[in-house]
Structure 1
């Protein structure tokens, strides 16, 4: 069901979610890192550095730096592609899935608390 929001309401929702994320989670992901993480978890695999760079319109080093940070935080892992050793395959982790589950809970809760369209 589509939700009708004004630009101000949409930004208010984004503000509420990001504010709560900062309060609850000390990872402090950049917008780019969060975009990469969502791409990895919401779009079916496989994911490669080359593919993510093309999808996001950035260079491979940009993706690599973001993956370094997210890997240190346990949100993703990387392995060499056994079929083509030149490729690095990005894998989901349990910690990454749990992080995004908490994020989706924040989005839902924030949407409910801010929504003038909510129904009982």
Structure 2
């Protein structure tokens, strides 16, 4: 539960920072489409995005209308299948997501009081690794402490 609350707290912090900026506010659906288009390999189509996100094609189209007006995506008719429209990335969209990623990173910055816990966990992990490596280097069987 504490991990979930921490994750939600990070997301909240990043969203609040995003809302406080002068840039556009994206809905969850618009952000999901942006992330799908920018973080997965093309080609992207309305039909494909609707299927991947499990939402209707009109809902995808409305979100793409807004993202297109913002300059975050562009649409291009598929030359191979004239019925299909390809959704493409733009420099402006890349910059927006890069800036948003920085907000997420900043939200996840570790507080000084958490560093002691992290260092202690790292020391325990390093010690366990050293013991295992020593046992693997020995000719006898590996014994894992309980």
Matched, 1:46 2:43: yes
How many residue pairs match? The answer is 115
Deviations 1:8-45 (A, max 9, x none): 11111011000000011431100010000000000010
Higher relative contact order (CA 8 A, sep 6+): 1
Deviations 1:53-88 (A, max 9, x none): 000001110000000000000000001000000000
RMSD: 1.7
2:61 equivalent in structure 1? 64
Secondary structure of residue in 1 paired with 2:109: helix
| Structure 1: gaps spanning 5 or more residues | none
The one of 8, 27, 42 aligned to 1:30: 27
**TM-score computed with the length of structure 2 as normaliser:** 0.74
Higher helix share: 2
1:7 Cα deviation after fit:
1.3
| Structure 2: gaps spanning 5 or more residues | 120-146
Max Rg structure: 2
